[in-house]
Amino acid sequence: MTSQQDLLDTLAQVARALGNGHRLALLERLAQGEAPVETLATTADLTIGNASQHLQHLRRAGLVTAQRSGKQMIYRLTDERIINLLGLLRQVAETNLAEMERLISRLFAEDDADGVLEAVSRDELLAGLARGEVALLDVRPEEEYEAGHLPEAINIPLAQLEEMLGKLPHDREIVAYCRGPYCALSHEAVQRLRQLGYRVRRFEEGYPEWKAAGLPVT
Residues in contact with DNA by the rule CB under 7 A? 16, 19-20, 22, 36-38, 47-50, 52-57, 66, 68, 70-73
Sign of CA dihedral 169, 119, 145, 49: positive
Longest Cα separation, the chain: 66
d(CA 180, CA 184) in angstroms, rounded, equals 9
The answer to whether 183 is a known catalytic residue is: no
Q: Determine the interface stretch with its own copies among 82-90, 132-140, 148-156, 170-178 (rule: CB under 8 A).
A: 82-90
53 binds, options its own copies, DNA, none, Cβ within 5 to 8 A by partner type: DNA
Strand boundaries in 51-120, DSSP class E: 64-69, 72-77
Q: Is 66 in the site for its own copies (CB under 8 A)?
A: no
Catalytic residue among 26, 63, 135, 178: 178
Q: 116-138 burial string, b = 16+ CB within 10 Å, else e?
A: ebebbeeeebeebbeeeebbbbb
Decide if residue 25 touches its own copies (CB under 8 A): yes
Beta-sheet pairing, 200-206 with 35-36: unpaired
Report the residue number, 79 or 173, with the smaller CB distance to its own copies: 79
Q: What residues numbered 35-64 form the site for its own copies, per CB under 8 A?
A: 45, 61-63
Q: Which residue in 176, 45, 191 sits closest to 108, CA to CA?
A: 191
- Binding mask 110-149 vs its own copies (x if CB under 8 A, - otherwise)? ----------------------------------------
Residues 164-183 touching its own copies, rule: CB under 8 A, are 182-183
Active-site residues, by number, are: 178
